[in-house]
Chain A
């Protein structure tokens, strides 16, 4: 089954444009978000200053979910329309999402040790988050092993859809099972003193996510365009 779209080399290759400036803005905004959240929020009655880990752990988890939602949407588009650009966006979001997923788990371990007394426990939330990471590591590994772009796009789209289905399971795991992990942290479940820090850090990591996905997509498009040029030359075309 071949892609119904023209080769990517025939469509415009993405340019850097103002994205490097956006990247600098995202990092500066993240510094501002973290510093202001730390300075504004008082120590928690029970956890003291440990509560401030929430401003990196929870937004990292939300960013992971958002990245895998992007994978879901663009994987479905790949299965529906077969466009290669959708496949490259899904792959870019999957790589960035896997990075945020691993970061979420590591930050949770750092928060868990002083509050629960253990670095890791096979709790439903932790286990389902680890399963989510393994699925997307598998997604990225699958892409590395399949050379044919069309097969790679369709197979990884199928894995991407299956992997993203795990996101609501991770989110609801603290309600569906008895877990050591607290209920979902959101502006409606945390003290109003911590809402500002949570929101501004979520926005800051959203900017970082957009920047990373855009740059990885740009690299992926350039590589595919180069491959298609090489193929065209090998077949005698120009």
Chain B
């Protein structure tokens, strides 16, 4: 009984670990992409890099 609950806890913990890690990865990638876009459009408008 106690052992089976440990497997259940491990499954839910792994699920949240995966989702939070991916959310962090997605947000970091998006922030970098937005910075890159801002740099490129600033360059196109003649603003300093």
Please measure, in the bound complex, the distance between the C-alpha atom of A180 and the C-alpha atom of B4, giving whole angstroms: 20
Contact A229 B40 (CB under 8 A): yes
Q: Which residues of A contact B29 (CB under 8 A)?
A: 216, 219
Pick the residue among B12, B22, B37, B40 that contacts A212 (CB under 8 A). B22
Partner of B44, one of A27, A48, A232: A232
In B1-40, which residues have CB < 8 Å from any A CB?
A: 1, 3-5, 7-8, 10-12, 14-15, 18-19, 22-23, 26-27, 29-30, 32-34, 36-37, 39-40
What separation, in Å, do the CA atoms of A114 and B5 have in the docked complex? 10
Interface residues of A in 213-238 (CB under 8 A from B): 215-216, 218-220, 222-223, 225-227, 229-230, 232-233, 238
- The DSSP consensus for interface residues of chain B is helix
Can you give 12 contacting A-B residue pairs, CB < 8 Å? A48-B1, A56-B11, A103-B15, A110-B7, A212-B22, A218-B30, A223-B33, A225-B37, A229-B37, A229-B40, A230-B40, A238-B44
Cβ-defined partner of A230 (8 Å) among B18, B26, B43 = B43
In the complex, the 9 A-B pairs of residues with the closest C-beta atoms, listed nearest first:
A226-B40, A222-B33, A229-B40, A219-B33, A219-B30, A222-B37, A226-B36, A53-B11, A226-B37
Contact A215 B7 (CB under 8 A): no
- Of A52, A111, A220, A222, the most chain B CB neighbours within 10 A belong to A222
Given A107-B15, A219-B33, is A212 in contact with B26 using a C-beta cutoff of 8 Å? yes
A111 touches B26 (CB 8 A): no
CA distance A145 to B40 in the complex (A): 23
Q: What residues make up the interface of A, taking CB atoms closer than 8 Å to B? A: 13, 23, 27, 30, 34, 47-50, 52-53, 56-57, 60, 96, 99, 102-103, 106-107, 110-111, 113-114, 208, 212, 215-216, 218-220, 222-223, 225-227, 229-230, 232-233, 238
Chain B residues in 8 Å Cβ range of A50 = 4, 7-8
List 19 additional A-B contacts (Cβ < 8 Å) besides A96-B22, A99-B22, A223-B37: A49-B1, A102-B18, A103-B18, A107-B11, A107-B14, A110-B10, A113-B7, A208-B19, A212-B23, A216-B26, A216-B29, A219-B30, A219-B32, A219-B34, A220-B33, A222-B30, A222-B37, A225-B40, A238-B44
Interchain CB contact under 8 A, A226 and B8: no
Q: Is the CB of B33 within 8 A of A226?
A: yes
Given A96-B22, A215-B26, decide whether A110 and B33 contact each other with a Cβ distance below 8 A: no
Assuming A50-B7, A222-B33, A230-B43, is B12 touching A56 (CB within 8 A)?
yes
Among residues of B, the one whose C-beta sits closest to the C-beta of A215 is B26
Which one, B7, B19, B22, B27, contacts A53 given CB within 8 A?
B7
